[in-house]
Amino acid sequence: MNNQSVRQLVCYILVSMVMFAGLVSQSHAVMVGTDTVAAEVSSDLGREEIKDLLARQDVSDKLTSLGVDIADVSDRVDSMSDAEVAELNQQMADLPAGGVLGTIALVLLILILLDVAGVTDIFPGV
């Protein structure tokens, strides 16, 4: 190889490197706080607790008897914000462990949330 061909080869390599230099994407890492991860996990667990309660036969029977579609309730639970999930779980934790009274209160709370969201029209004044 002569000197001219070496120069041409180096020139082609440098031109191709400059052309492909703009194609390299950069990524930036950000620290995620423990409280952020814990809040997301807590919210996911809260949604699962609500869904488990809604999967109970007595609760689903009561909702069905009131004319509420279980799929709509599940969709509403999925679309609830983290604050709403936390508030609902706190209200359920504060309810007395009586079964019937707690279930009725939960069903009414869910119906009110569905009515406010416009999914159902059970309480026309709300």
Domain boundaries, the chain: 32-117
Which position has the higher pLDDT, 73 or 100?
73
**Predicted pLDDT of residue 4:** 83
Three state DSSP letters for 31-100: CCCHHHHHHHHHHHHHHHHHHHHHCCHHHHHHHHHCCCCHHHHHHHHHHCCHHHHHHHHHHHHHCCCCCH
Which position has the higher pLDDT, 59 or 25?
59
**Predicted pLDDT of residue 23:** 67
* Per-residue pLDDT band at 95 (split at 50, 70, 90): low
**Predicted pLDDT of residue 58:** 82
**Model confidence over 38-80: pLDDT tens digits?**
667 667 777 888 888 888 888 788 878 878 787 887 888 788 7
pLDDT higher than 70, residue 96:
no
pLDDT higher than 60, residue 126:
no
pTM over 0.75: no
Q: Mean pLDDT, to the nearest integer, of 108-112?
A: 78
